[in-house]
Structure 1
């Protein structure tokens, strides 16, 4: 494996700022396999499609600011709402993975008819992505645990988590603990958090992204090409919206160890890294990814590590 060496890059990158493509969001709750929240450009053009899977028991709306940032750079983002069932129920992970595959098939067959005039969904550039357990769901679909008509062009895990801890595994168990053992056919980006493995500041708390089942392990098992970034000073929920409504919002705000920086910095960092990675692999425009690897201080959040492993 050859690691991309850090070289001086003179120009900066715009991926950490909102993009210049005007977007809208809308809900589709009637006919798909799961209720959907869709972010789409309204400017005529052809755009890649991202299926984004939310974390355990989190409403899809909690990711609105992050997903709008990504869409504003020229992507259609489809965010399904999976079942909210307690984690220990053994059928849930399989249910989410199966449903993600069904949503992918719906994207292939029905998405285009709902988009604005002259906006074309390029399903030939289809991306699976997800946060926390949704990151595991995205990886599981890519690994073939759900069948879909679409070929996956790229895979993104945002602080992915494979279970409550390495001793309490949710099925299917996808981690192998061996370098490159996933043997995925598509490029992978993993964005982790430095505070995810730490407990929140209250009694009896547990880490939201425990050691042994978090981004480090997903990166270990991933094969090149693979990008790996860790937002050192931020926590597992810091890429969500500022104002989270309801009981689930209260839980999300206190359940995990949070960073002291503004969440907008984390959202722009995560969104920008995803855009840079997808530009490199879907459009072969590598400048942004090269620039960030060479100079991680371009990102609003501190990135350590920030690396990209090329294919052999």
Structure 2
């Protein structure tokens, strides 16, 4: 099956997914407003191509206490390869939300996309909501999984799901609400391809005597284990839970979360951002557009990635 897919895209050209793409783009800040019915339920950032065309849409949820603009470099990498990214700020009065409230609000923002997104895009740029992807980092990864699993009712359908070092709770025995991990392999009732990108240093205690930011029993390994094929799993062994964020995260909270509490890798963060961004692009090209060349190249030789990938698994859907 893999050989047949490879022949189908041979000669179509290839872009190095681990480098910035050549599609021009811009970032749009959108505020929420009770007085304006067309406003989104929460403030958000939109990363959109300016080159005319129809593009898949990725809905991205930030991690615990993290601001959506801390992911600007990562999201810029992805949009430059031909995607529209919508990243809401799921805070309430400037403070993080917890549990089911955040999941339900994420679902409301997803529903807003149907009528609210297109008017905010450049002329002749179309949001292809027939190819809508859920994604998120850390607690936001769990939020994305929870929305996909139906914990938030939405009118739109999803084509793929990507968890970036997702975290379900404080430990194996202490999940945050909603408790979505069942401890049963392949138990997630999902009918879409899933990719899980983990970190090798996430389960290690952070600085300042902090507990692990992605503890064993509640991290990427459990999320992958409970997914059904088609599913992919990548682990960047030399990097940590916050290493896909921007180099500069404004404010005391951003600095503490990004560079103190969680264990960081020894290399430049740019390597991790390029790795995560490239894996997202390659996975979605394959599963949304049938362009398998880049994805198969990484599966065949993980050294193509800028960082060491010590765990690369892809289980296709049963034929």
**2:179 aligned with 1:177, yes or no?**
no
Counterpart in the other structure of 1:221: 226
* Partner residue of 1:19 out of 18, 21, 26: 21
Runs of 4 or more above 6 Å deviation? none
Provide closer, same or farther for how the CA distance between residues 197 and 75 of structure 1 changes in structure 2, counting only shifts above 3 A. Answer: same
Structure 2 Cα separation of the partners of residues 181 and 155 of structure 1? 15
Shift of 1:120: 0.2
What is the DSSP-based 3-state SS (H/G/I as helix, E as strand, rest coil) of the residue aligned with 1:129? strand
What is the DSSP-based 3-state SS (H/G/I as helix, E as strand, rest coil) of the residue aligned with 1:108? helix
Counterpart in the other structure of 2:122: 116
Shift of 1:86: 7.3
Contact 2:55 2:126 (8 Å CA) reproduced: yes
**2:215 aligned with 1:210, yes or no?**
yes
Shift of 1:167: 2.1
Counterpart in the other structure of 1:66: 74
Contact 2:61 2:140 (8 Å CA) reproduced: yes
- Unpaired runs of 5+ in structure 1? none
**2:42 aligned with 1:34, yes or no?**
yes
Counterpart in the other structure of 1:139: 145
Contact 1:13 1:298 (8 Å CA) reproduced: no
Query: 1:101-144 CA distances to partner (integer Å, 9 max, x unpaired)?
Result: 11111111110011000000000000000000000000000000
- Unpaired runs of 5+ in structure 2? 33-38
How many residues are paired up?
A: 303
Structure 1 Cα separation of the partners of residues 223 and 117 of structure 2? 30
Counterpart in the other structure of 1:195: 201
* Partner residue of 1:255 out of 243, 256, 261: 261
Counterpart in the other structure of 2:172: 166
Shift of 1:183: 2.7
Structure 2 Cα separation of the partners of residues 236 and 193 of structure 1? 6
Larger relative contact order (CA 8 Å, sep ≥ 6): 1
Query: 1:260-282 CA distances to partner (integer Å, 9 max, x unpaired)?
Result: 01100000000000000000011
Provide closer, same or farther for how the CA distance between residues 243 and 86 of structure 1 changes in structure 2, counting only shifts above 3 A. Answer: closer
Shift of 1:96: 1.1
Structure 1 Cα separation of the partners of residues 99 and 290 of structure 2? 34
Contact 1:239 1:266 (8 Å CA) reproduced: yes
Shift of 1:74: 0.4
Moved more, 209-218 or 76-85: 76-85
The Cα RMSD (Å) is: 1.9
**2:131 aligned with 1:125, yes or no?**
yes
Shift of 1:3: 10
What is the DSSP-based 3-state SS (H/G/I as helix, E as strand, rest coil) of the residue aligned with 1:152? coil
Shift of 1:230: 0.2
Shift of 1:66: 0.2
Shift of 1:184: 0.8
Structure 2 Cα separation of the partners of residues 116 and 3 of structure 1? 37
Query: 1:142-181 CA distances to partner (integer Å, 9 max, x unpaired)?
Result: 0000111110000000000000112222111001112111
Contact 2:15 2:21 (8 Å CA) reproduced: no
Contact 1:195 1:259 (8 Å CA) reproduced: yes
Structure 1 Cα separation of the partners of residues 228 and 236 of structure 2? 21
Q: Taking structure 1 as the reference length, what is the TM-score of the superposition?
A: 0.93
